[in-house]
Structure 1
Amino acid sequence: MHRSIHILSTKALRTASQDRAAQEGIRLEMLPFIRIEYSDVPELFAAPKSSITAIFTSVHAVKAYMGMDAATRPEIKAVCCIAGATEREVHSVLPHVPVLASRPYAAELVRDIAQQYNASWSSLHFYCGDQRMPTIPEGLAQAGIPFAEQVVYHTIACPEKIDTVYEGILFFSPSAVHSFFSLNALPEQTIAFAIGHTTAGALQQYTNRIATAPQPDEEVLVAYAIEYCKEIKT
């Protein structure tokens, strides 16, 4: 029987993830280290309504688009997006819109777009946050593909000093990593769990005690962290 395991998530988790922790007897805390503010971008829609192919690399970007005035926002004819939570959100709110490309990481996604792109596509619009990585715009530019980029949300750091020692801390973005480590250091017995390679890369600036989920998905990360911590506690 493993000893009590205490895990901190640096964002609020979905119910399924919380249930998994509860079923395993894990003490799970959730403390967001970033918050999202959606942009007010009415200037985008002064022109006549148009049809576009949208690129989404986060759930927040999808929600920001859906929060715009439906009467004036561009009509999405097709989507290219990150697989996992972002693609699920696309299917949920735009169920009849085809997904032309879907990959777990931005570098893979932009390669797929470059391979498939042709002149028949509607205008490409990349909806993103103010702290987006350069992978998508640089990849499109290198491929000679025209696109418009629009920042539709802002990521605000919410650092907080932590005194509790956890077996594991879950990180879901480079922004949350930098926010956490602006006030905290990682205790020697604590593992930093990264949802994907980009987040793991940010963690490398602060620690070498990093474990990366086998797939960039919240529930996969939670299950991976639970099993990992159970192994080291037995």
Structure 2
Amino acid sequence: MKTVLSTKVLSHSQKELFLNSGIGLVEYNALKFNFLEVDIPQHITHLIFTSKNAVRAFLDQTPQLQVSNYSVFCVGEKTKLLLEKNYLNVVKMAENASELAHFIQKQRPKEHFLFICGNRRREELPNILSENNIRYDEIEVYQTELVPKKFNRSFEGLLFFSPSGIKSFLLENSIKDSWLFCIGHTTAQEAKKYSKKLIIANKPTVENVLVQAINKLKTA
């Protein structure tokens, strides 16, 4: 049986996508996220999030948050849904950090932003903001820890959801001849360092990564 390895443990509904596909699934969490105790500045009301974990850590630190005070700019549909579920006003959702930074540069260049992020955040967004003299502060609210795990077998497909997930997997394993299925272009940039056999999801969602893997491996 063809089998894929997911570098994050999937939800029950996500696993169901594999049930009738004839493709096996192995899963583990390649990353661990640790929320930090920090003081969130209250005077900056324009917030930037590029991950759901940053949102969760932020909400964990501010349970008495007056959400009506904030205007939020974020990356990713799932991040947007989590913000809105917690009654935060999302002004702009972009598919990636560069797109969001360019939106801010063009549409909100005079505002002061708070970039809420983790220790492994990428450089694209802060670089673009800095190059365009847009005021922002940055606060680290969680840390990403790589969790190595060795697999004494090969897989027809590997599912990756972040560049850090790829780095974690490679601490104990090699890509070999697997197809790599990536959630977005940022993850794919890291994957291209190790293989040309990769497919990027049409939409940056876990579900679409699974669909791409099933469609490819059923016909391969």
Q: Tell me whether the two structures share a fold, i.e. TM-score over 0.5.
A: yes
Q: Is the 8 A contact 1:106 1:135 kept in 2?
A: yes
Closer, same or farther in 2 for the Cα pair 1:76/1:193, shift >3 Å?
A: farther
> Is 1:7 matched up with 2:4?
yes
Structure 2 equivalent of residue 161 of structure 1? 150
* Aligned counterpart for 2:182 among listed residues 194, 201, 221: 194
Structure 2 equivalent of residue 24 of structure 1? 21
Shift in Å at residue 164 of structure 1?
A: 2.5
Closer, same or farther in 2 for the Cα pair 1:184/1:76, shift >3 Å?
A: farther
- Identity, % of aligned positions: 29
Q: Distance in 2 between matches of 1:31 and 1:159?
A: 10
- Counterparts of 1:65-144 in structure 2, within 5 Å, are 65-71=58-64, 76-94=69-87, 97-117=88-108, 119=110, 121=111, 123-144=112-133
Q: Is the 8 A contact 1:52 1:75 kept in 2?
A: no
Structure 2 equivalent of residue 39 of structure 1? 36
Structure 2 equivalent of residue 152 of structure 1? 141
SS in 2 for 1:137: helix
Q: Distance in 2 between matches of 1:13 and 1:79?
A: 28
Q: Which amino acid letter does the alignment assign opposite residue 144 of structure 1? A: N
Closer, same or farther in 2 for the Cα pair 1:76/1:209, shift >3 Å?
A: farther
Who wins on radius of gyration, i.e. which is larger? 1
Q: Which amino acid letter does the alignment assign opposite residue 205 of structure 1? A: K
Q: Which amino acid letter does the alignment assign opposite residue 203 of structure 2? A: Q
Q: Distance in 1 between matches of 2:52 and 2:66?
A: 18
Alignment deviations for residues 101-122 of structure 1 (CA, whole Å, 9 cap, x no partner):
1111111111111111054x5x
Closer, same or farther in 2 for the Cα pair 1:118/1:110, shift >3 Å?
A: closer
Residue ranges of structure 2 left out of the alignment (5+ in a row): none
Shift in Å at residue 41 of structure 1?
A: 1.0
SS in 2 for 1:124: strand
Q: Could you say what the CA RMSD is over the residues aligned between the two structures, in angstroms?
A: 1.9
Shift in Å at residue 181 of structure 1?
A: 1.0
SS in 1 for 2:72: strand
SS in 1 for 2:62: coil
Q: Distance in 1 between matches of 2:120 and 2:134?
A: 22
Closer, same or farther in 2 for the Cα pair 1:146/1:51, shift >3 Å?
A: closer
Q: Is the 8 A contact 2:35 2:142 kept in 1?
A: yes
Q: Distance in 2 between matches of 1:8 and 1:133?
A: 25
Q: Distance in 2 between matches of 1:106 and 1:23?
A: 36
Q: Is the 8 A contact 2:7 2:30 kept in 1?
A: yes
